[in-house]
Amino acid sequence: MSEKSRETQENGKNLVRFECIKCGECCRQKGLIVTVTGRDVARLSSTLGMAAPELLRALDFYVLPENGNAPKGLRDTPLLKTESGKAYMALRKMESGDCIFLKDNQCMIHPIRPFVCRTFPFVFRDVAGRVKWGFSSMKDICPGIGEGSKATKQELVELCIAALEDLAIYREFAETWNETTAEPTVIGFLEAILSDVRFSV
Summarize pLDDT for 168-177 with one digit per residue, the tens.
999 999 999 9
pLDDT interval class at 1 (50, 70, 90): very low
Task: State the pLDDT at residue 157.
Answer: 84
Task: State the pLDDT at residue 6.
Answer: 34
> pLDDT digits over 128-151, tens only?
777 778 888 888 899 988 888 888
DSSP 86-124: EEEEEE-B-TTS-BTTEETTEETTGGG--HHHHHTTEEE
Q: Tell me if 116 sits within 8 A of 34, measured CB to CB.
A: yes
Helix (H), strand (E) at residue 48: helix 38-48
Sequence-distant (6+) residues with CB within 8 A of 84 are: 61, 63
Task: State the pLDDT at residue 12.
Answer: 41
pLDDT interval class at 15 (50, 70, 90): low
User: What is the mean predicted confidence (pLDDT) over 140-163?
Assistant: 86
pTM as predicted = 0.85
| Integer Cα distance of 57 and 91 in angstroms | 9
Task: State the pLDDT at residue 47.
Answer: 95
Q: By three-state DSSP, how is residue 145 classified?
A: strand
pLDDT interval class at 14 (50, 70, 90): low
| Integer Cα distance of 174 and 97 in angstroms | 27
> pLDDT digits over 116-130, tens only?
999 999 888 777 777
